[in-house]
Chain A
């Protein structure tokens, strides 16, 4: 990257590492006995051959370092390299047979929760495909059992456990929000509905809790798109509507599985054919890969498609037509969980090109794209860590700036929020949008009739 692309006047490396009251309160309660027993229980009883192979195969060659946003954003400090993170956590835990200090654990929580997006980019650069993300999640599992998980992400898991959604959205609030969006959208289509609990609809549409909480307009847009496309769809009025899963990122596998069960049993209760999820990456990973498997579903029991696959289908089948393409120059951020995780990157480009006149790709891209820096629960650790996160995302900011695009499309909620932070912090002067925003802006507001 050339020098003029570099971002000036911002701290260049993380100097102060923060902690929070939940981590500190948890650490204060720990005894050497509990630390040792918990670490050994997790490392001996909850890991399989895969874990052993990873730990034994690593050659400390450092090839993975170049892959990691944190390493690149912090002046190539080896403590931020993927193998460096393992060295400072799992290796020492194994080495010391679980007899590690409070100071060590304070650092381990910090690394596993705020210095790794579990984005799996490094696995592609490791000659042995060692899955560092998996090892970091193992550290988080230990932190969960020791009750030293960072405050804000723990609160979202608490919310999941009590309400089956991430943001303490009350059951009436959820339904009321949908009905309010439905009513507003009737300004555009007089007979538009957000059909609740419609048994036998073809599609269950599911979103993450920030939508009803803060971004109700996205529900409006989705309803408009569904209505115009003439889709047989429904949304559940009951818990099970939120497809997000922060428990997957704190190592609370039991709650993570409970969330996945509620989600799929809701689809079963509504007797739908498939599930369409909003633009969220980690939710896709949870329902498609992690949560379902913990429960015993080798594959998701329902066909689950990410919004961008669904949009692709609507646009190519002519169910949605574009009145006039989006004019501003756009670039596209590939969310790891749907790109590296699911291979939807080409489809994302096709959708972008169908919607926008001028698309500039970022480099690197597709499955090689860098994480937004927010994912894997990092942004969910909240305000105490935001300053560091911004520094850790410096390299991502440079990548974005180099595109010169006016609009940054991010088809993932986490990415979207994280990228907005980056754009503001580094004054990138870009607008961050979902694909749904652009479809809504550019589509013809007419109802699809077969044969048209």
Chain B
């Protein structure tokens, strides 16, 4: 990430005492740390029914009846869903949106932090709001909300009313995909897994046409071909094409624009990722029942996990592909086909350098958090750790950790670790 350049990479250690917060407040909720590591924040309870957020020891100016869903934003501020007098809005470091709702949830933030979206409910009507602007049109129900990197929003909305247990009405299709509040004029039995193209203009999603027929739709048009099931589609090749895992004849395959794309038939493939740089496509896959691997351009890795592969990420240059997996009861990573030996109870979100040379991740073992860099576990255990950041020149790593009631923002030198 380019913005990492502006981070303070020269101060070795900054500390914020956090234990004292527990004396100041009735309770302190789980901490969140800003991307630059400068700020640690928690929702705190001041007294019965009074909540605010404490950032580095300073509380927000405002207090609320309720607060939840605290999240750090790319610019170092924090956002939380807050409520006063039974109405809800988003508060960004104490500054509320102008619009208040009967309920809000599902806070999403795009990559550069320029757009924040929520699912909102007002007078039992549902929609989304992006940067304090609610959709013009509201609906009976909403699911599957997404926010594009360009700030477009989309969700599955219910466009036809249905009384309880009316399966005939359901059968005719009561759902549409709404983009920026406007429902596409096409109803389906089910809609799942909306993907935006990179321009945030077009959408692709999985649909069910009747009880047993599934397909992929792009905007208002479903592929001609129908399948036994489908998973989330993805735009590729500069938004020209849409790919999706589909099930046919009891096996899963990758299709592109309604035609077979990869040749191999899998027991399972899902969770597609594409490298913007190289155009390589990867997916979590299973060749043999109960064995999980990665398929990259239709070639499976020489690696298997017997429990789960939960996440998959390319480095910016596309040279490195990192999978988070669980094998023989423990979590670990696999980097370019090579399984690490972390034996962790939990593995958090990995951080991959732009050139793919450094992979760092926080793990938990027996209740203690550890930082791992290129398969080396740094022996100091902590009570809590947030996702680390690798410096743009790969020489340093920013560790964000809490130990013995003190938050430490620590710059570690890579040559001392590796």
Which residues of A approach B to under 8 Å, CB–CB?
A: 22, 25, 45, 144-145, 147, 151-152, 154-155, 158, 161-163, 170-172, 175-176, 179, 186, 190-191, 193, 195-200, 237-239, 252, 254, 257-258, 261, 264-265, 268, 271-273, 295-299, 301-302
Contact = CB atoms under 8 A, between A and B. Distances in A.
Contacts of A144: 211-212
B330 to A, nearest CB: 11
A295 B103 CA distance: 34
B291 to A, nearest CB: 8
The CB with the most chain B CB atoms within 10 A, among A158, A176, A295, A299, is that of A158
A171 B250 contact: no
Nearest to B166: A155
Contacts of B166: 155
Contacts of B126: 170, 172
Contacts of A191: 26-27, 45
B187 interface: no
B168 A25 contact: yes
A254 B175 contact: no
B208 interface: yes
B99 interface: no
Given A155-B167, A175-B103, A200 B346 contact: yes
13 contacts: A144-B211, A154-B167, A155-B170, A200-B346, A254-B214, A254-B247, A261-B270, A268-B311, A271-B346, A273-B346, A296-B289, A297-B307, A298-B306
Nearest to B71: A197
Contacts of B255: none
The CB with the most chain A CB atoms within 10 A, among B30, B166, B270, B311, is that of B30
B418 interface: no
Given A158-B167, A265-B310, A296-B289, 8 more contacts: A161-B208, A163-B141, A172-B102, A179-B66, A191-B45, A196-B69, A237-B105, A271-B346
Interface in B110-163: 119, 121, 126, 141-143, 156
A296 B106 CA distance: 29
Nearest to A144: B211
Nearest to B175: A162
A195 B30 CA distance: 9
Q: Considering the complex of A and B, which 3 residue pairs feature the smallest CB-CB distances, nearest first?
A: A298-B290, A301-B308, A268-B310
A170 to B, nearest CB: 6
Interface of B: 26-27, 29-30, 45, 48, 66, 68-69, 102-103, 105-106, 119, 121, 126, 141-143, 156, 164-168, 170, 175, 189-190, 192, 208, 211-212, 214, 228-229, 247, 250, 267-268, 270, 286, 289-290, 292, 306-308, 310-311, 326, 345-348, 364
B308 A264 contact: yes
Contacts of B26: 190-191
A25 B171 CA distance: 12
Contacts of B292: 296
A271 B208 contact: no
A5 B229 CA distance: 52
A179 B69 CA distance: 12
Contact of B167 (A151, A254, A299): A151
Contacts of B286: 296
B184 to A, nearest CB: 17
Contacts of B346: 200, 271-273
A171 B69 contact: no
Contacts of A197: 69
Contact of A171 (B106, B306, B308, B364): B106
A193 B103 contact: no
Given A171-B142, A172-B119, A200 B29 contact: no
Contacts of B270: 261
Contacts of B27: 191, 193
B310 A238 contact: no
Contacts of B311: 268
A172 B310 CA distance: 26
A152 B345 CA distance: 41
B105 A22 contact: no
A175 B190 CA distance: 23
Nearest to A300: B307
Given A175-B105, A295-B268, A152 B165 contact: yes
Contacts of A163: 141, 143
A301 B326 contact: yes
Contacts of A158: 167, 170
Contacts of B211: 144-145, 147, 252
A239 B105 contact: no
A254 B228 contact: yes
Given A145-B212, A237-B105, A254-B228, A199 B290 contact: no
Nearest to A254: B229
B348 A199 contact: yes
The CB with the most chain B CB atoms within 10 A, among A154, A264, A268, is that of A268
A179 B278 CA distance: 46
Nearest to A264: B308
B167 A297 contact: no
B101 to A, nearest CB: 9
A51 B43 CA distance: 56
B66 to A, nearest CB: 7
Contact of A170 (B30, B66, B141, B168): B141
A108 B211 CA distance: 20
Contact of A155 (B66, B142, B165, B212): B165
Contacts of A198: 30
Contacts of A238: 106
Nearest to A156: B165
Nearest to B45: A191
